[in-house]
Structure 1
Amino acid sequence: SVFLLMEWAYTGSNMKSKHEVQRLVDNVICAPNFKSEDLRNFNITRETARLDATDVANAERQSVDGWYHASIHIPSPKERTKYGSERDAPHFR
């Protein structure tokens, strides 16, 4: 396994730094929920398309500058006024 990893690290793209290879091992391969059998039929093109489809679904809420747009309600209680709950306080919209 170590040989295969090192061979991969030193072949192909030269964009794989030692830090990135270590991160792959620590955060992916050695992750407690990592299952190599999940990669048996892995296809990068298919998985990239799935991620892109998720991005398209989220694009409605995201503008070109990367910010997400959503409606929120912020409780804004008045000073020296008691409310039964946060829900009862006036909300800024």
Structure 2
Amino acid sequence: MRGADVRAVDFVVYQDNRVQRLIQVCWDPGDPLTREREMRALVTAGNDLACKDLLMLTRSVEKVKEFSWFGRSGTVRSMPVRKWLMEAESDGVAR
């Protein structure tokens, strides 16, 4: 999903014709500029699409962070991609 200001979210997950989850992939969010860019995209899209499930898949970072930007805010959950895939396998859910 691309916003009017050319920020992109990598994946939009739909269920029953509604946006269920937004996913951003950021291998190494250690650089503050990279992390902020990726979180801005998620929070902006989350606000635009009325989606609160904001997920950033990373190489190794796992945390939950509140993020605000120009009056838009949201909670971004970061988790290692391997953990996300292993949870999907144990749940029997296709990701």
Q: Which has the higher strand share?
A: 2
Q: TM-score range by the shorter chain?
A: under 0.3
* TM-score, with length taken from structure 2: 0.24
Return the index of the structure with the highest Cα Rg.
1
